[in-house]
């Protein structure tokens, strides 16, 4: 299959038990086209092993290895999933000959098929261009049902990623591309950014955000002491949409927590505020799919970023499948 590699059991190792106490014992490595339609919802992890968007955006490459490193870290975590909930690793979407658009297209069809099969997808990046393919997979799935359901995007990120794609599509353009397509389709572009850094987005990006009516919280106020106000913003946003797609760019976290990214944020946000926001979003019952972007093992220190990513996934699974 083009732009795809099958799941590798080698990625799943750790302490051994006889009772599925660990996630490496719980997970089933199943190729994408063999993922079953379960009677109950279940979870599928799928990697987006591509950093072409990062290199096109003049960033530091290495995120191509992000998905496998996250899986490797996650496998060592304890398994608290109900036994009726399945956990699959469906392998990785790959990028060949620098054709990022082909990788995004493959991600779109894969996410759509996972959602058609009632899976809860957790996509592991890879550059933040993962968001373009991921969003379209959700959209394709919802559009096929012809129920007119809308998608709200919640992006935890230091960056708007609203750069114009006049030169090329890259890791800094996905939400601009989506916004333009929404305009063409006469549907609203619902985009909430949490943790935006003023010192990492130029004036024209703030202007684009204003023109597109983007709601955002700056990283200075994206802190636990402002949680009530942040929750008010999140709930107001969620109310206006039918489904919520959450994308977590690891570079929004302070580099004290997430050094292993292409563009680190020394004064970024904490994991605690993100967790509280995830609780609010998941409590709404509207969360349809999640991704984690920009995991770059080349710059990680002692596996901290991979462990943070794995811990976020663990929390999300716990909240979504109590």
Ligand X SMILES: N=CN[C@@H](CCC(=O)O)C(=O)O
Residue 128 labelled as part of a binding site:
yes
Residue number of the CB atom closest to ligand X? 172
Q: Is 134 in the site for Mn ion (CB under 5 A)?
A: no
Distances (CA, A) of 72 to 7, 93, 123, 246: 12, 17, 15, 22
Of the two residues 75 and 174, which places its CB atom closer to Mn ion in the complex?
Answer: 174
Distances (CA, A) of 209 to 69, 138, 151, 160, 217: 33, 23, 18, 8, 12
Of the two residues 23 and 162, which places its CB atom closer to ligand X in the complex?
Answer: 162
Residue 251 labelled as part of a binding site:
yes
- Kindly state the tokens that stand for 45: 């992890």
Per the rule left: phi > 0, alpha: psi between -120 and 50, beta: everything else, 170 is beta
The site for ligand X (CB under 6 A) is made up of 57, 59, 128, 159, 161, 163, 171-172, 263
Helix (H, G, I), strand (E, B) or coil at 245: strand
Residue 157 labelled as part of a binding site:
yes
With CA atoms as reference, report the closest residue to 285 among 315, 244, 317, 231.
244
For residue 71, the partner it binds in ligand X, Mn ion, none, with Cβ less than 5 to 8 A by kind, is none
Q: Is 128 in the site for Mn ion (CB under 5 A)?
A: yes
For residue 172, the partner it binds in ligand X, Mn ion, none, with Cβ less than 5 to 8 A by kind, is ligand X
With CA atoms as reference, report the closest residue to 245 among 201, 203, 282.
282
At residue 87, φ and ψ (nearest 5 deg) are -125, 120
For residue 24, the partner it binds in Mn ion, ligand X, none, with Cβ less than 5 to 8 A by kind, is none
Measured in whole angstroms, how far is the alpha carbon of residue 166 from the centre of its chain? 25
Of the two residues 120 and 156, which places its CB atom closer to ligand X in the complex?
Answer: 156
For residue 59, the partner it binds in ligand X, Mn ion, none, with Cβ less than 5 to 8 A by kind, is ligand X
By CB under 5 A, the residues from 155 to 184 that bind Mn ion are 157-159, 161
Rounded CA-CA distance 227/319 in Å is 18
Q: End-to-end alpha-carbon separation of the chain, Å?
A: 35
304-320 helix and 271-283 helix, angle to the nearest 10 degrees:
20
Helix (H, G, I), strand (E, B) or coil at 180: helix
Interface segment toward Mn ion; rule CB under 5 A; list 41-49, 55-63, 121-129, 302-310: 121-129
At residue 49, φ and ψ (nearest 5 deg) are -85, 80
Does residue 126 have a cis peptide bond before it, meaning omega lies within 30 degrees of 0? yes
For residue 92, the partner it binds in Mn ion, ligand X, none, with Cβ less than 5 to 8 A by kind, is none
Of the two residues 120 and 175, which places its CB atom closer to ligand X in the complex?
Answer: 175
Residue 143 labelled as part of a binding site:
no
Site string for Mn ion, 223-262 (x = CB under 5 A): --------------------------x-x-----------
Of the two residues 94 and 262, which places its CB atom closer to ligand X in the complex?
Answer: 262
Of the two residues 251 and 300, which places its CB atom closer to Mn ion in the complex?
Answer: 251
Give me the residues that bind Mn ion (CB under 5 A), please: 128, 157-159, 161, 249, 251
Residues tagged in the binding site annotation: 128, 157, 159, 161, 249, 251
Residues tagged in the binding site annotation for Mn(2+): 128, 157, 159, 161, 249, 251
């Amino acid at each position: 299959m083009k732009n795809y590699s099958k799941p590798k059991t080698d990625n799943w190792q750790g302490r051994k038990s006889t009772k599925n106490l660990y996630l490496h014992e719980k997970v089933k490595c199943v190729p994408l086209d063999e993922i079953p339609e379960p009677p109950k919802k279940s979870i599928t992890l799928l990697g987006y092993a591509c950093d072409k968007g990062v290199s096109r955006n003049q960033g530091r490459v290495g995120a191509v290895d992000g998905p496998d490193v996250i899986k490797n870290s996650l496998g060592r975590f304890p398994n608290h999933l109900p036994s009726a909930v399945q956990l699959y690793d469906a392998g990785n979407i790959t990028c060949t000959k620098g054709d990022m658009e082909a990788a995004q297209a493959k991600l779109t069809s894969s996410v759509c098929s996972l959602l058609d099969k009632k899976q809860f997808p957790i996509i592991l990046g890879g550059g933040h261009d993962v968001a373009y393919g991921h969003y379209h997979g959700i959209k394709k799935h919802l559009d096929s049902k012809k129920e007119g359901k809308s998608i709200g995007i919640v992006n935890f990120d230091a960056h708007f990623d609203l750069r114009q794609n006049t030169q090329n599509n890259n890791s800094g353009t996905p939400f601009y591309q989506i916004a333009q397509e929404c305009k063409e389709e006469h549907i609203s572009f619902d985009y909430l950014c949490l943790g935006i850094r003023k010192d990492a987005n130029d004036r024209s990006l703030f202007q684009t955000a204003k023109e597109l009516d983007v709601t955002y919280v700056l990283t200075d106020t994206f802190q636990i002491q402002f949680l009530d106000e942040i929750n008010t913003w999140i709930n107001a946003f969620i109310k206006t949409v039918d489904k919520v797609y959450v994308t977590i760019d690891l570079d929004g976290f302070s580099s004290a927590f997430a050094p292993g990214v292409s563009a680190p944020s020394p004064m970024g946000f904490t994991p605690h505020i993100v967790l509280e926001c995830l609780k609010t979003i998941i409590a709404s019952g509207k969360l349809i799919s999640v991704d984690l972007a920009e995991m770059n093992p080349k710059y990680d220190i002692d596996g901290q970023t991979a462990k943070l990513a794995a811990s976020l996934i663990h929390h999300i699974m716990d909240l979504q499948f109590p």
